[in-house]
Amino acid sequence: MSRHRSAGSGALVGVGIAAFVDETVFHQLLHWHHFYDKSTPAAGLVSDGIFHAFGWIALVAGLFLYADLQRRGGFARGSWWGGLLAGAGGFQLYDGTVQHKLLRLHQIRYDVDLLAYDLAWNVAAVVLLLAGVVLLRRRHG
Amino acid sequence: MWSYSGAGMAEGALAPLLLGWAYLLGVSRLRARGDIWPRGRVVAAVGGLLALAAALLPPLAGHDEEFPVHVVQHLLLGMLAPLLLVLAAPVTLALRTAPPSVRGRLLRVLHGRAARVATAPVTVLVLDVGGLFALYLTPLYALSADSTALHLAVHAHVVASGVLLSWLLVGVDPGPRRPSTLGRLAVLLVAASAHGILAKLLYAHGLPAGAAGDRGLGAQLLYYGGDATEVLLAAAILAQWYLRTGRVAARAARRSPA
């Protein structure tokens, strides 16, 4: 029970962190990502709106669940970290494949050869996701 | 183009001042008879009224024909002020200080059919999100810039729908049944997603039609300003859940000491 709750809290925080890093680092600091890209179809805007809002809500909810687990003494560290890595990797993989490629929301960077960027982005996402799954299975097994 | 006259300025200051006076009068009456009224609610009331005043007074009000200024005004009127005003529990204060006849009438309204329909999640979302989409994606925005009456009606709708949404999500005043914590987060997700989608639509198509000023900047302010208030709303929903479950656990622990 508390392991599942810990994994859930970690996953929400992970999704939130991935969304936060995407927004602050890639949009605001590096200016690689564009607010809007002229090739974006309507489905891209809808997906962006939902996942952008979900990222913020997930971060806040995950942190309050974390505080609640600590308060009850039911915090399972390994499950929480497993959830966090899986959540962050899963969100980044969705962003890198569906949102960037399928829905063409925006690309990782402009005026460069994208292949290396796309590979680095999605391989990093898969590594995070697998690390999280391994951690979760070890703790649950 | 509609701009603030001297009379409009006085009205802009008058509404928050009158509301603030009534609120503080109520609090002082309660305190005079020895009742407790949390200080946090007074702080929320003052903050909410300051947000209203900031939106309705210069320098913002004098330049609201500029789209970015208009967006800041709407974020204050439709999101920040309602959130704070709802947390100030003005209806509870009124119920505890008003004469019995007013109290009775207020309770009948709060528990009536109209209140139930007006506060249903679907109604609130249609009023709030639908109102925004209608204002920015139809000629309504351009029309409201030319007509004082329409301009004021739009402001009133923004405040009223914002209050309904905030009450549904984090209200402390009595009223019809509200969704569970998870349901409230779902309502917030729908409203926040719609705000984000609308902001990007405006940016993508250079809307609203006929708006003066930097429309792209206005759309980005709507996107990121909406985020900021939606994070506050999410934090308020979850803080209420955290405190409530804490109280329940403490009560259970008192009943059955280990």
pLDDT in tens, A37-96: 666 677 777 888 888 899 999 999 999 999 999 998 889 889 999 999 999 999 988 887
pLDDT score recorded for residue B192: 93
Rounded Cα distance, B142 and B135, in Å: 9
CA distance A68 to chain B (A): 7
Rounded Cα distance, B98 and B102, in Å: 6
Q: Is the pLDDT of residue B3 over 50?
A: no
pLDDT score recorded for residue A110: 66
Task: Give the residue-averaged pLDDT of B6-13.
Answer: 60
Rounded Cα distance, B137 and B241, in Å: 36
CA distance B193 to chain A (A): 4
Rounded Cα distance, B73 and B225, in Å: 11
Asked if the Cβ–Cβ distance from B223 to A40 is below 8 Å, we say no
Measured in whole angstroms, how far is the alpha carbon of residue B124 from the centre of its chain?
12
Cα separation values, B202 from A12, A32, B55, B60, B92, Å: 30, 21, 22, 21, 39
Half-sphere exposure of B258 (CA within 13 A, CB side): 3
Q: Is the pLDDT of residue A100 over 80?
A: no
Measure the CA angle with vertex B48, ends B43 and B51; round to 5°.
125
Measure the CA angle with vertex A90, ends A87 and A96; round to 5°.
140
Which residue type occupies B133?
A: F
Tell me which residue in B201, B227, B249 faces A45 most closely, judged by beta carbons.
B201
Q: Is the pLDDT of residue B258 over 70?
A: no
Q: Calculate what percentage of chain B has a pLDDT beyond 70.
A: 95
In which region does residue B213 sit, left (phi positive, over 0), alpha (psi from -120 to 50) or beta (all else)?
left
Q: What phi, psi does B154 have (nearest 5°)?
A: -65, -45
Asked if the Cβ–Cβ distance from A57 to B185 is below 8 Å, we say yes
Task: Give the residue-averaged pLDDT of B36-46.
Answer: 95
With contact defined as beta carbons under 8 Å apart, do A135 and A78 qualify? yes
Whether the pTM exceeds 0.90: the reply is no
Label residue A112 by pLDDT band (50, 70, 90): low
Tell me which residue in B194, B242, B249 faces A49 most closely, judged by beta carbons.
B194
pLDDT score recorded for residue B112: 92
Nearest CA in chain B to A57: B234
In which region does residue B177 sit, left (phi positive, over 0), alpha (psi from -120 to 50) or beta (all else)?
beta
Orientation of helix B90-97 relative to helix B6-32, angle to 10°: 60
Rounded Cα distance, B73 and B47, in Å: 15
- How confident is the model over A124-136, as pLDDT tens digits? 888 888 988 888 8
Q: Is the pLDDT of residue B153 over 80?
A: yes
Label residue A122 by pLDDT band (50, 70, 90): confident
- Higher-confidence residue of B238 and B208: namely B238
Half-sphere exposure of A51 (CA within 13 A, CB side): 26
Asked if the Cβ–Cβ distance from A57 to B230 is below 8 Å, we say yes
Q: Does A67 touch chain B (CB under 8 A)?
A: yes
Q: Which of A27, A54, A64 to mutate to probe the B interface, most B CBs <10 Å?
A: A64
Tell me which residue in B189, B194, B195 faces A57 most closely, judged by beta carbons.
B189
Q: Is the pLDDT of residue A33 over 80?
A: no
Taking any CB pair shorter than 8 Å as contact, residues of chain B touching chain A are 185, 188-189, 192-197, 200-201, 203-204, 220, 223, 227, 230-231, 234-235, 238-239, 241-242, 245-246, 249
Cα separation values, B205 from A44, A109, A110, B138, B139, Å: 15, 23, 21, 13, 14
Flag the least confident range among A28-32, A114-118, B189-193, B209-213.
A28-32
Rounded Cα distance, A41 and A104, in Å: 7
Label residue B8 by pLDDT band (50, 70, 90): low
Q: Does A31 touch chain B (CB under 8 A)?
A: no
Mean pLDDT value across chain B: 89
- How confident is the model over B65-113, as pLDDT tens digits? 788 888 899 999 999 999 999 999 999 999 999 899 999 999 999 999 9
Asked if the Cβ–Cβ distance from B200 to A50 is below 8 Å, we say no
Task: Give the residue-averaged pLDDT of B32-59.
Answer: 92
Which residue type occupies B173?
A: D
pLDDT score recorded for residue B42: 97
Rounded Cα distance, B51 and B16, in Å: 9
Half-sphere exposure of B150 (CA within 13 A, CB side): 12
Asked if the Cβ–Cβ distance from B192 to A36 is below 8 Å, we say no
Rounded Cα distance, B90 and B19, in Å: 10
With contact defined as beta carbons under 8 Å apart, do B52 and B15 qualify? yes
Among the listed residues B102, B202, B79, the one whose alpha carbon sits nearest the alpha carbon of residue A45 = B202
pLDDT score recorded for residue B10: 63
Task: Give the residue-averaged pLDDT of B111-136.
Answer: 93
